[in-house]
Amino acid sequence: MKYHVIVYGCQMNISDAERVSAVLERLKYKKTSNINEADLIVVTMCSVRQSAVDRIHGLVEKFKTLKKSNPKLKTILTGCILKKDKKIFVNGFDYVVDIKDIKKLPKILEIKKIINQNNYLGIAPKYSSKFSANVPIMTGCNNFCAYCVVPYVREREVSRSAKEIIFEIKNLIKRDYKEIWLLGQNVNSYKNKNTDFPELLKMVNNIPGNFWIRFTSSHPKDFNKKTIDEMAIGEKITPYLNLPIQSGDDKVLKSMNRHYTVENYKNKIKDLRKKIPGIGLSTDIIVVFPGETKKQFGNTAKLFRDVKYDMAYINKYSPRSGTPAAKLKNDVSDVEKKRREKVLTEILKQTALEKNKKLIGKKTIVLINENRDDNYFGKNEHYKTIKVKSDKNILGQLIKVKITEARPFILVGEVINGK
Ligand code: 5AD
Ligand code: SF4
């Protein structure tokens, strides 16, 4: 029996799909990248934007055709699904399964095998990469930002035990993994017994080996000084942070229910830059949150000019039914929405290029994660994308590179020491 997995969404969904794969392989299913030869198709969906949900409707149509040539084909929908969408998709899929219930897959597929696991994060995953691993440390969210669907699909925060996390990471390091991503909807509010997020960072940093530690997502209200200090001390914790601001205007932040001000945020950035000079910084932005005025948008543009991000994930606001923001009026025209998005992208391009130019001639370490045509691509410690050429296969290796050329979102380099 062969299965095919389709993953949409964030790193957390990728990580969830790795657990689904592990369960299926225990049931003797074999993975195939060819959807046409699959007996089982699993879709891990995302609900953060409506466009992602619409994609699933497209898949349902495709499945109808596939089922004509393979009537035994079964389809499963899991991941982040809204209650109302569950009701809709039961018609398009054979099974709709809560991600927390994937241990029930044997029963669902009528296979007489029991998987005794009461916590789904405890399932040992089938990692999709041989050098970079996603390790969930918590899931769920208690924050209810006004635009966000996550608290409704993932429910409340649950942290994994530190012991279980450390055990998983130690095993990965034994297998020579080079990069560990600690994942959660809000990693900064990790709490298990007496271990908080900075303490967990310290514990992971103390695991012997040559590897990098990264984490996502952070929330500015919970991202604290203790975490900054731990990042500065921990030599394996990479000098990079994604700190989503969402808007550069205090009033908008308030209606988003974000619980911080632009000033609080900027002070954290200041402290970070003081303690970790040269740290790579990125953010998430929502354009245009309902009711955002030109002046309020101007404050976001100003913040972009002031902070000088290395990268920003600029998301067009997508109304999600059931969230408080969906009830707010949004009377900004599509043309104006596009303009605001463009303004931010242009500022970002300028500031990122300015900063990247200063890196020309500098040496950096890169974890190579992709090989396309003649080129290798990877990310350095600061999470900058770097392109190099190499005659040897350097995929999955930490490589020393000298930067030779700068563009806004990519640096070109040369491999040093023939390595
Ligand atoms: N519309 C647009 N972007 C959203 N995000 C979350 N919800 C929405 C929405 N309804 C963005 C936020 C968050 C990122 C993961 O997705 O910027 O940080
Ligand atoms: Fe959504 Fe806010 Fe929770 Fe992030 S912190 S998952 S944006 S509700």
The answer on pLDDT for 398 being more than 70 is: yes
What is the distance in A from the centroid of ligand 1 to the CA of 322? Answer: 15
What is the distance in A from the centroid of ligand 1 to the CA of 161? Answer: 28
Average pLDDT of the chain, as a whole number:
95
Q: Whose CA is nearest to atom 7 of ligand 1?
A: 148
Q: Say how far residue 49 (Cα) sits from the centre of its chain.
A: 14
When pLDDT is cut at 50, 70 and 90, the band that residue 419 belongs to is very low
Residues in contact with ligand 1 by the CB-under-6-Å rule are 48-49, 147-148, 244, 246, 284, 286, 315, 317-318, 320
Ligand 2, pocket-test mutation among 80, 155, 157, 219, most atoms within 8 A of CB: 219
Q: How far is CA 44 from CA 6, 176, 186, in A?
A: 6, 28, 20
Write down the residue that tokens 């923001």 correspond to: 325
What is the distance in A from the centroid of ligand 1 to the CA of 321? Answer: 14
What are the pLDDT digits (tens) for 256-299?
999 999 999 999 999 999 999 999 999 999 999 999 999 999 99
Q: Which residues pair with 136 in a beta bridge?
A: 183
- C-alpha 104/C-alpha 110 separation (Å) is 10
Q: Whose CA is nearest to atom 4 of ligand 2?
A: 185
- The pair of structure tokens assigned to 163 is 């012991």
Q: Is 151 in the pocket of ligand 2 (CB under 6 A)?
A: yes
What are the pLDDT digits (tens) for 91-145?
999 999 999 999 889 888 887 676 667 788 989 999 999 999 999 999 999 999 9
- When pLDDT is averaged across residues 158-177 and rounded to a whole number, the result is 97
- When pLDDT is averaged across residues 191-219 and rounded to a whole number, the result is 98
Q: Is 154 in the pocket of ligand 2 (CB under 6 A)?
A: no
What is the per-residue pLDDT for 207?
98
Q: How many CB atoms lie within 10 A of CB 63?
A: 18
Contact 78, 45 (CB under 8 A): yes
Burial per residue of 270-289, b for 16 or more beta-carbon CB atoms within 10 angstroms, e otherwise: eebeeebeebbbbbebbbbb
The answer on pLDDT for 374 being more than 80 is: yes
Q: Phi first, then psi: give them for residue 79, nearest 5 degrees.
A: 100, -145
- C-alpha 54/C-alpha 76 separation (Å) is 17
Q: Whose CA is nearest to atom 11 of ligand 1?
A: 315
Quick one: DSSP state of residue 88? H
Q: How far is CA 363 from CA 10, 304, 352, 406, 411, in A?
A: 31, 27, 18, 13, 12
**Which atom from ligand 1 is nearest to the alpha carbon of 313?**
17
- The pair of structure tokens assigned to 97 is 């399964």
What is the distance in A from the centroid of ligand 1 to the CA of 198? Answer: 25
| Percent of residues, the chain, with pLDDT higher than 70 | 98
- When pLDDT is averaged across residues 347-368 and rounded to a whole number, the result is 98
* Ligand with minimal distance to 80 CA: 2
What is the per-residue pLDDT for 417?
76
What are the pLDDT digits (tens) for 287-337?
999 999 999 999 999 999 999 999 999 999 999 999 999 999 989 999 999
**Which atom from ligand 2 is nearest to the alpha carbon of 149?**
1
Q: Is 141 in the pocket of ligand 2 (CB under 6 A)?
A: yes
When pLDDT is cut at 50, 70 and 90, the band that residue 64 belongs to is very high
The answer on pLDDT for 193 being more than 90 is: yes
- C-alpha 383/C-alpha 410 separation (Å) is 10
The answer on pLDDT for 386 being more than 90 is: yes
- C-alpha 415/C-alpha 419 separation (Å) is 6
* Ligand with minimal distance to 218 CA: 2
Q: Is 144 in the pocket of ligand 2 (CB under 6 A)?
A: yes
What is the distance in A from the centroid of ligand 1 to the CA of 68? Answer: 37
**Which atom from ligand 2 is nearest to the alpha carbon of 246?**
7
**Which atom from ligand 2 is nearest to the alpha carbon of 185?**
6
pTM for the full model? 0.95
| Percent of residues, the chain, with pLDDT higher than 90 | 93
| DSSP element (H, E) containing 240 | strand 240-242
- C-alpha 262/C-alpha 224 separation (Å) is 15
What are the pLDDT digits (tens) for 207-229?
999 999 999 999 999 999 999 99
Q: Is 247 in the pocket of ligand 2 (CB under 6 A)?
A: no
* Ligand with minimal distance to 314 CA: 1
Contact 115, 103 (CB under 8 A): yes
- The pair of structure tokens assigned to 160 is 């994994």
**What pairing do the DSSP bridges indicate for beta strands 398-406 and 363-372?**
antiparallel
What is the per-residue pLDDT for 118?
72
**Which atom from ligand 1 is nearest to the alpha carbon of 149?**
7
What is the per-residue pLDDT for 48?
95
Burial of 83 (0-12, 13-18, 19+ CB in 10 A): exposed
Ligand 2, pocket-test mutation among 80, 141, 254, most atoms within 8 A of CB: 141
- C-alpha 307/C-alpha 54 separation (Å) is 35
Contact 406, 353 (CB under 8 A): yes
Amino acid occupying residue 336: E
- C-alpha 137/C-alpha 398 separation (Å) is 25
